[in-house]
Structure 1
Amino acid sequence: MTELQSPTDPRIFCLTKIVEIAHYNVNRIRLVWSRIWKVLSEFFVSVGLLENLSVAIFVMDSLRQLAMKFLEREELANYNFQNEFLRPFVIVMQKSNAPEVRELIVRCVSQMVLSRVNNIKSGWKGVFMVFTSAAADDTKSIVLLAFETMEKIVRDYFPYITETENTTFTDCVNCLIAFTSSQFNSDANLNAIAFLRFCAVKLADEGFGCQEKCTDEPRNLGMSDGNATVDKDDSISLWIPLLAGLAKLTSDSRSTIKRSAVGVLFDILKDHGQLFSESFWTNILESVIYPLFSSERSSSNDPTSTPSIPEDDFSNLETQTLAVKCLVGLFINFFDVMRPELARVASIVTYFIRSPYKHSASIGVSALMRLIEGVGGELSKEEWKDILLRFKESVAHTFLVFSKIVRMMQDIEIPDRFESYSENDQYSDHENYGNEEEEANMETTSYAIVKLKNHMALLLLVVQGIIKLYEEHRKYLSSDHINILLEMISAIATHASEVSSESSLLLKFHKACSLMEVSEPAIVHFENESYQTYLKLLQALFRDYPSMSEEMDIESQILRVCEKILRIYLQCAQREPSNEALHRNASIHCIVPLGAAKKEELAARTSLVLLVMQLLGNLEEDSFRRVLPWFFPLLVDLIRCEHSSGEVQHALYKIFQSSIGPMLTV
């Protein structure tokens, strides 16, 4: 070593002789050669790490020649001499500070693979370790050269990897995952994930799978220290590092990598899931799939989360919404083997409905509808009930959003000013407001308005989903199931009335929207749609299932909804329900004109009142006679209402003429 350490004139005579000794002894009995190489390899590593570049390159090139000769011989079964022989390349690759030496190592190893691939067995571990180190290199040419060779290996030499021990494939997967972190080439990052998909295709083509005969799969699909815990006698174990590696990438900090990893992970399960047994599916879900949604469940349980959201949370949310859609599709495709996981899958999907973010919650509703559409015909009564109860619980949880808005706006005062604030600069133009407190109030109000709009849009989506669910799956629904749907839609309609009754809050929103020149929340539309859909569902039940409707007293529910709608209309028209004593004592009555906003609200509510009138007018004579005492005071108040529309008055005229009149003449 002393003669090699001269910075100006190193002498390599002894080094050359040592290389020759190694060359002449390479064909000796393997156990003898192993003891010789243990001493020589440490020497070659020390020389390869010298600062003198020419000496380091010389010894690496000499090692390449020795390796080419050594790899001419096939390796004996259950021995790892090749891995020991290639270890100097790995150590120098990891520790050398000279990019020239590292690039030479990559080229040497690439040449070995391409020319001696038939004989490589345990040596694959050293090959993949060299390329894994190259993937993290800070020299672009080294990274690209190594990835080019990895492409060649995966495309053309895949069978040579799987025919050796299972940990070889784990090393291959780890190497591809390392390339996803390359800082030089985003295409290489995504191509590495694409090659993981290609590996899955190759495994399936070569028949690596597990059907019912496989009963003792590993209980943990996780990867520790880069290696999966596998049973070497079980072909299914080759899927473990692949799936676990993709699961690891789903938590990457880069959104493109996360989305790609989620897509490839679920595509592999969808395309090759038929190869897996039920117990292996259970392990996949527990160790790979369910952990993807852990952060969503924790965040959705917090209804008081603040409006400021870290960028990572947005990225995680995007990944999770993609994953939940893929999970539902996967569950539908493999329902027979995944059926025991129905409750867990339904829980994940319905928890998305609780999300404080509009897009995520909407995805939860649509995913649940897709789940029911896909497997509804196969579900038992208990499974239906479990899904609907989870749905109901999550919808009820969303009502907390409005409570939060009310608390948020409780101490907020909106200025009585009419300067014009555009929607685009409501957060940035600080000069528009008199002081910081006023500006903060306006920002809070703007946020609250957006939250309320999103809240109502979500609940309307739920209402539409309930109607669609009934129309498409009513033949599978029992009275218990239908009762849950009615309770849900009734709760939403009642909640809509509660929102509409918060007059002080709505006045603040009206003033704020005028100042900021943004549209007001469509609260009347929300309330109308909720009650109209509720009434539509009750009528459909009354028509489709007469006997069930009688048991559930659907007719009384219809009448209560109709009464509620008429009372809301009268209250809007500033005409409270009748008090006959007051009417008899009233001697003077003045018509107070309505404001423009009230006129618009009254016009918006007219269609729903007309629907109630039509429903009352279509009742059978006996039914109408039975409910008349209930509705007659309300009908009289509608006649006395000065601000009701001509359409409402005409509908009243028809009821009195066709239904009430004949009763008086009898």
Structure 2
Amino acid sequence: MIVFQLSCSIFISLVSRFRAGLKAEIGVFFPMIVLRVLENVAQPNFQQKMIVLRFLDKLCLDSQTLVDIFINYDCDVNSSNIFERMVNGLLKTAQGVPPGVATTLLPPQEATMKLEAMRCLVAILRSMGDWMNKQLRIPDPYSTKRFEDVENSPEPGNVPMAILNGDEPAEGSDSHSEASNEASDVLTIEQRRAYKLELQEGISLFNRKPKKGIEFLIKANKVGDSPEEIAAFLKNASDLNKTLIGDYLGEREDLSLKVMHAYVDSFDFQGMEFDEAIRAFLQGFRLPGEAQKIDRIMEKFAERYCKCNPKAFTSADTAYVLAYSVIMLNTDSHNPMVKNKMSADDFIRNNRGIDDGKDLPEEYLRSLFERISRNEIKMKEDDLSLHQKQSVNSNRILGLDNILNIVIRKRDEDQHMETSDDLIRHMQEQFKEKARKSKSVYYAATDVVILRFMIEVCWAPMLAAFSVPLDQSDDEVVITLCLEGFRYAIHVTAVMSMKTHRDAFVTSLAKFTSLHSPADIKQKNIYAIKAIVTIADEDGNYLREAWEHILTCVSRFEHLHLLGEGAPPDATFFAFPQDESEKSKQAKSTNLPVLNKKGPGKIQYAAASVMRGSYDGAGIGGNSAGAVTSEQVDNLVSNLNMLEQVGSSEMNRIFTRSQKLNSEAIIDFVKALCKVSMEELRSTSDPRVFSLTKIVEIA
């Protein structure tokens, strides 16, 4: 365990040295680290799983590495989507074991893993934000001198827009030619990513309806329309359902038949033993269940084998019958449902006279029988032993199959690895071989546009990972992590001008303030209000239309805060008395009370104000027609008192610091404030002038 932890540290320190090398070098070292946790692959224990999660957390400390992994794997058609699998795996782990599913984890262990997975998700967003800030030279949002020095730095709201839109580089940047090359690289990566997404869409369709999938891929120019090109795709593409490949190859339609012939003809069986050729042939697909489909495929296989080995049998018919016999033997020998197993003599007897009426040599058939009985013919996907499959099932429940197997490929069972070092060397050889074949180049990310693709991949899982615990949990550690996640997500999506994604996080966070439902306010809602203030403070230059959600929260907060202080609502000042006596009463009643003076009467008045629907129609207990009960009043008083943890001064800071916003942001800010003001004035039950007053102040 200690060795693994040290390996993690070594990996993180070494990975930055591969910025200009082959991307496969990362692939060589990554399995070394992860495999240390898999000394016993069948049953990775709780400590090992935790180390993997902590390793991923540490990996995010190097923000460049995280973005580079996305470019070099998720944007490469020939590589796995490491970043996407990692995020989805962490989401599953953060959600925990579904109800009713058995697990070996104790409740405290599961809670710890869920927390660590959420911490990793937050670390990913923080890492993306740090990398973006460095690329765009955005000041550290946590610096106390941020607002004092803002005049001396480039307007942060303008920098990203210029870069994101591919405009001229800012002063002090690289030369025009370098910027042009960088834009070209970004365009190439963008095209590769788009190509891969469309290819994956076609693969997904193939795995549901093979014919439709092939048609889609041909129309999308991802696969050529010739049988040879389709066959090559079926043979080489990853993530295709092997059973459906077999079904497609066994179809009797003209195109499928031609593709099957091209598929079989792509194999070179020269010099192979008969069973060895069958093994190689059946590595890439599963034989279909229909006898007619099997018949068509094996007939073509026999023809191809005899063409590659013209002296092996008298005719292709011999190879065809023997192939069927070998498949039957394989099923008989290795299917646990078969009670009475075939003997060698039975196998020899079943194959008498198949060579144009003659018998094949008994020694040949007996040797063939022994090899098949000892070593099952199966696809690569079947190489996991039952021992390993059990661990995969348990890991899949928590999403750890997406984490533990980020780069690792399932190893061939034929190769007996005595130690983990043997396995590591084997993995290194595999990755080096892949590097030699693909000649892939390692891309070092430099343009923030890449973050758009990363956000597209991770925003929905992130939103779910933070929203559900924030809604269901009252644990302060969990709440703090969720709010951190929201803050980083809003920062990245806002700076990147991704409106839909930004608004999804902002509106969700605004909902969690519970300001629209004061009777439900809890301590975690106060934390959410503070997070809203912090976001307005730090990311005001990038919020654009989202300012409306922020300012709506401010308006609601101020309304509740004044009610809690016992101040009369603004509607009092909109009343017009009909005679002199009413004017006299009105003059007396409009004298503002001492706001910090509380009393049962004022509290009851505040409760009644909320009760009668003066605050967005939100009652304090659902009893809108009846009197306010003492229990409801006590609950409301407690909730309104909690608002003092925020204080009006913090809210007012949003307006006082609006003068620090850049030229575009101040326009967005005022437009949003006007919209909120209109909503306040249009209220039929309780019109207000709070936002209107703020417009006058900041003007």
Q: Which has the higher contact order (CA 8 A, sep 6+)?
A: 2
Query: As a proportion of its length, which structure holds more helix?
Result: 1
Q: TM-score by structure 2 length?
A: 0.31
The structure whose Rg is larger is 1
Q: TM-score by structure 1 length?
A: 0.33
